[in-house]
C-alpha cells in the first residue's frame, strides 16, 4: 500500500461556495496546500476578489462572485466556472445563512432566506454541475461535500429554527444524493462543524475562551481541523465514505 499520495489533490479542481471567509476559506487554504486549483465564490464581489488575491500566494485561486441563493445566481456561477474549466473534481457547498428570533415572532423571511441558501442551493448547484463532475470522474472519483452543522444533529439553546431545520435537512439530503450519484462515480458526503471562529459564529470568534469551556475537548476549532476533514473527504483517502456526515466539533454534539 502506497500512502504517499493518499491525501493529495494535485491536479484537481475545486469550487467552494462561501469561500472568501470562515470555514470556506479554511477549506480553500487546505486544498491549495494539497495542490488543487481552487475557485471560490461569495455574494460580495470585493471580499471574494480580495480573498482570492490573498489565497493566490498559496496556489491557483480564482474569484467567481455569485449569489447562489437564487436559481439565477446558481446558473451564473456555473457559467462563470465553465469559462475556466471543462470539468470539476470537487464541489464544496459551504455558503450558508442563519437567523434567530423568538418563536412567536419568527418571520417567513427568516425561514425562506435560510432554507433556500442552506438546503435548496446545494441541491440545485450540484444538479447543474453534475455533467462537469461526471466528466472529471475518470481515474478518480469526483466529490461533493456539503457543509452542515452540529445544529442539524443536536438541539442548541438558541431559537434558530430555520437554521437547525435546514442543516438537519441537508444531512439527510446528503444521504439521498449520495445513493443517486455514487453509480455516476460522484461521492457525496458532508461535514458538520462545531464552534469555529467566523463571521457566522461570532461567539466562537469573539469569545473563544468562554465557548471553549463548553467544548469537551476544551477549545474551538482551528483552520487545520477543518482543512484536515475537508482534505480527507475530497482525496482518495475518503473515497469509501459515501453519504456520511463527518462531525468536526470537539465533542460538542454529544456533550452540550
**Domains detected in the chain:** 13-255 (3.40.50.720)
Decide: helix, strand or coil at residue 94: coil
Mean pLDDT along residues 134-148: 97
| E strands, the chain, in order | 13-17, 37-41, 61-63, 90-93, 142-147, 186-193, 245-248
How large a percentage of the chain has pLDDT more than 70? 94
What confidence tier does 103 reach under pLDDT thresholds 50, 70, 90?
Answer: very high
Q: State pTM to two decimals.
A: 0.94
Provide the pLDDT for residue 208: 59
- pLDDT for 219-251, tens place per residue? 888 999 999 999 999 999 999 999 999 999 988
How large a percentage of the chain has pLDDT more than 90? 84
Q: Out of 39, 81, 163, 232, pick the active-site residue.
A: 163
Q: How many helices (H) and strands (E) does the chain have?
A: 10, 7
Q: 240 an active-site residue? A: no
Q: Lowest-pLDDT range, 14-28, 29-43, 206-220?
A: 206-220
What DSSP string describes 137-171?
-SSS-EEEEEE--GGGTS--SS--HHHHHHHHHHH
- pLDDT for 52-64, tens place per residue? 999 999 999 999 9
Amino acid at each position: 500500500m502506497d500512502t504517499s499520495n493518499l491525501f493529495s489533490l494535485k491536479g484537481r479542481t475545486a469550487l467552494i461556495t462561501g469561500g472568501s471567509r470562515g470555514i470556506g476559506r479554511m477549506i480553500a487554504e487546505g486544498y491549495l496546500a494539497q495542490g488543487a486549483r481552487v475557485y471560490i465564490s461569495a455574494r460580495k464581489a470585493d471580499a471574494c476578489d480580495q480573498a482570492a488575491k490573498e489565497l493566490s500566494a498559496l496556489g491557483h485561486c480564482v474569484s467567481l462572485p455569485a449569489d447562489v441563493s437564487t436559481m439565477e445566481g446558481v446558473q451564473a456561477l456555473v457559467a462563470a466556472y465553465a469559462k475556466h474549466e471543462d470539468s470539476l473534481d470537487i464541489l464544496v457547498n459551504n455558503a450558508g445563512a442563519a437567523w434567530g428570533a423568538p418563536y412567536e415572532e419568527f418571520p417567513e423571511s427568516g425561514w425562506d432566506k435560510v432554507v433556500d441558501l442552506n438546503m435548496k442551493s446545494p441541491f440545485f448547484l450540484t444538479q447543474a454541475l453534475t455533467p462537469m463532475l461526471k466528466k472529471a470522474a475518470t481515474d478518480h472519483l469526483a466529490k461533493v461535500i456539503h457543509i452542515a452543522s452540529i445544529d442539524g444533529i443536536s438541539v442548541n439553546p438558541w431559537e434558530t429554527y430555520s437554521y437547525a431545520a435546514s442543516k438537519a435537512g441537508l444531512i439527510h439530503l446528503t444521504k439521498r444524493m449520495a445513493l443517486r450519484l455514487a453509480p455516476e462515480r460522484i461521492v457525496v458526503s458532508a461535514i458538520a462543524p462545531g464552534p469555529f471562529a467566523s463571521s457566522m459564529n461570532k461567539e466562537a470568534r469573539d469569545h473563544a475562551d468562554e465557548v471553549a469551556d463548553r467544548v469537551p475537548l476544551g477549545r474551538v476549532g482551528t483552520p487545520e481541523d477543518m482543512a484536515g476533514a475537508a482534505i480527507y473527504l475530497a482525496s482518495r483517502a475518503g473515497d469509501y465514505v459515501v453519504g456520511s456526515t463527518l462531525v468536526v466539533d470537539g465533542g460538542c454534539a454529544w456533550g452540550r
